[in-house]
Structure 1
Amino acid sequence: MTQQMKADGMLVLVTLFWGISYLLMDISLEAMGPFTLNAYRFLGAFFIAAICAFPKVRTVNRITLKYSALLGFILLFVYIGATFGVLYTSLSNAGFLCALTVVLTPLFGFLFLRQKTSKKLALVVAMAFTGIALLTLTESLKPRVGDLLCIMCAAAYAIDLLMTERVVKKEGVNVFQVGVFQLGFTGTFMLFMSFFFERPVLPNSSKVWISVLILSIFCTGMAFIVQVIAQQYTSAAHVGVIFALEPVFAGIVAYFFAGEILSPRAYLGAFLLVSSLFVMEIDFKKLFAKKKELEEV
């Protein structure tokens, strides 16, 4: 098995946990505020990762800490959007809208970093925003507050991916340490916010404790460290296609465990949105070229 196949397999597992995370956040938010939940989630992930890999993180340098703090600050906005979004919209909508990162990453790269992109970007953007309109707009043609927050989450995470792509190539940066310390900085920022806006409390039941622990260990600690490491061994296109599976996993979990059923219009919007993610990331020219080669053999 090649390094890329291993990296892609690890990212599929990460995406599965992210799909489950919307339900776990919904359970946890019944007992605590969003900032408190994220403080537990990120600080818990940081301390577990730091203890388990202490020899690898104890020699951290200044440049690694600087970029870890920057990525941690960006993740603050990602998870403000995601967590508050789950409070004010459905789990299905949250999963589909947060996955817009796949479309927004190449769009932001083109607009702000002058990165080359395919000609199909305009089609993909049109499909994605039509899907969003069908999925989120009410009869009065207004999106819910939670939907807008989830879109903010997707935009902030697109910025995080573009910044991470640059950070992992910087001289003097330890990639594994960035994956660990960004969790600590995000958790610290969230903790300050929780004392300012909320009254921090401990989980009040075994169900909430289990949800917070799974969010900390698998959906946060493992997920972000694996993402940073895997981006060294796989292409951005592969990452995009894999991350497009997140709303699929989120929708399945919402249907079976939360009993959510969308309207026919919303299902059409969800279909367009997921289709736009795959159209963006699949290289159809290469796909058809391989098919033609196989037919000629």
Structure 2
Amino acid sequence: IIISFGGAFHFGYQIVVTNPSQNAFLNFYNRSHVAHYGWIMTPNTMKGTWSIIIASLPYGAIIGSFAISPISTKIGRKKGLYVALITSIVAILLAIISFHVLSYELYIVSRIIIGFSISLSLGLTAMLLNESRFLLLRGEEEQARKSIIFYHGCKIGAIDQTLRGIKDTITSAAKAASIKEVFKDKHLRKGTLLGVVISFTTCFSGTTAIYSFAVDMLRNTGLTLEEAAYGNIGLCAVSTLNWIGYLLVVIIAIFLFVFSIGFGSLCFFIASELVSPSARAVAQMLASLVLMVW
């Protein structure tokens, strides 16, 4: 849960935060532009260029996707998460500074960096949580047995077989597979492509539209901005909510709930589970890349 707060939580937060707070962000953008260039943009121009600024997050996420494989291979999953944590802290500090110095250019840089951090963290988290082999690498076989019972749901008699399988993967994963090697191997290719397809399917599930425009949709039902913002995060108990707005909030909440227990969570780790440990970095990198590009 703690590791997820460093990756998945920030991914959702950064997508949703600009939705109910759009007017505040536009006000900051307009004041920053006037301070730098001395003229006021028209509302249409401001909204158009602001959408480009918001879209800078995926640019950093794409770079982060490409970094998953080399970072996990060279410095490991755990240290890679430290890198993601440090870059996210830097990005947050830059965003805070950009507000005080009225620099939307600096805010763009912070969005790109946080995108890099989020993508890297999501990819590495999926691989880190998928492996109990680090206990065997430390020589803590008894702890590894307990971990297998808890996470794999194995019976006592099946522990040794699972343990041998993990030891075999440690031996076979001494050298990380390259992209070329992954696509040459039939089993690895199928697992990687399935992970990519699931990520691609997630992109067209409709959640992006809800995350990006839920507040506008709720406001169009007659709700105020504040009510729509609360509805967007699932707080449906608003005293003045009319039945149409209430129904829409419920539908959106059910849709997001079902999505979150299905493709929404599956796309972040399925690729790393379908291939051997030596190919996990490449498979996760490609699945994350598709998710961030689309």
Structure whose alpha-carbon radius of gyration is higher:
2
Q: More relative contact order in 1 or in 2 (CA 8 Å, sep 6+)?
A: 1
When normalised by structure 2's length, the TM-score is 0.31
Give me the TM-score of the superposition, normalised by structure 1. 0.30
